[in-house]
Amino acid sequence: MAKLSTLQDLLVDELKDLYDAEHQITQALPKMAKAASSAQLQKAFTDHLAETQEHIKRLEQVFSALNLKPTRKTCKAMKGLIEEGSEVLEEKADPQVKDAALIGAAQRVEHYEMAGYGTVRTFAYTLGLNDIAVLLQQTLDEEGNTDHKLTKIAESRVNERAV
């Protein structure tokens, strides 16, 4: 376990956690897209996969700006969220109900990511790493947009059909 003596140490530790989380998500999203019955939801998951791959690249830029090699620290929280989401994939459920459950699982992931990116963005600003903070804010904004898109899909179609 790494020793956390400074805010910079904590920033790097949190970045490693997010880097692993994003990699885990790239494995889960194709399965979620395949399990979704709504074409709009499938597209949202597929679009977010491409975005997540960009998040990984952006984190690699952050590591590079810190003169560090990108490394992963197992994100146990994401592992748990994805395991819970995987249970939804196994459920025998009405397709619309399954779509509603997939949206819920995906939004839990998004909320975790938003908390993580908001935290590291704030650390970066505090450390005067404004260029890094801007990169992290960009990802935070994209995670928030995905969350809003999922809410819109749920409220405009999926939840009513699941009733």
Residue 132 to residue 67: CA distance in whole angstroms: 12
- Higher pLDDT pick, 140 / 92: 140
The residue type at 13 = D
Q: What is the pLDDT of residue 163?
A: 83
| Whether the model pTM is above 0.85 | yes
Protein fold of 7-162: Ferritin (1.20.1260)
Across residues 44-61, what is the average pLDDT? 97
DSSP, collapsed to helix, strand or coil, labels residue 12 as helix
The token pair at 98 is 């399954």
The single-letter DSSP state of residue 158 is I
The residue type at 36 = A
Q: How far apart are the first and last CA of the chain?
A: 47
Place of tokens 């194709």: 30
pLDDT tens digits for 75-89?
999 999 999 988 888
Q: What is the pLDDT of residue 15?
A: 98
pLDDT tens digits for 4-28?
899 999 999 999 999 999 999 999 9
How far apart, in Å, are the Cα atoms of 118 and each of 81, 154, 163?
19, 25, 35
Backbone region of residue 67 per phi and psi (left: phi > 0; alpha: psi in -120 to 50; beta: other values): left
Residue 95 to residue 6: CA distance in whole angstroms: 49
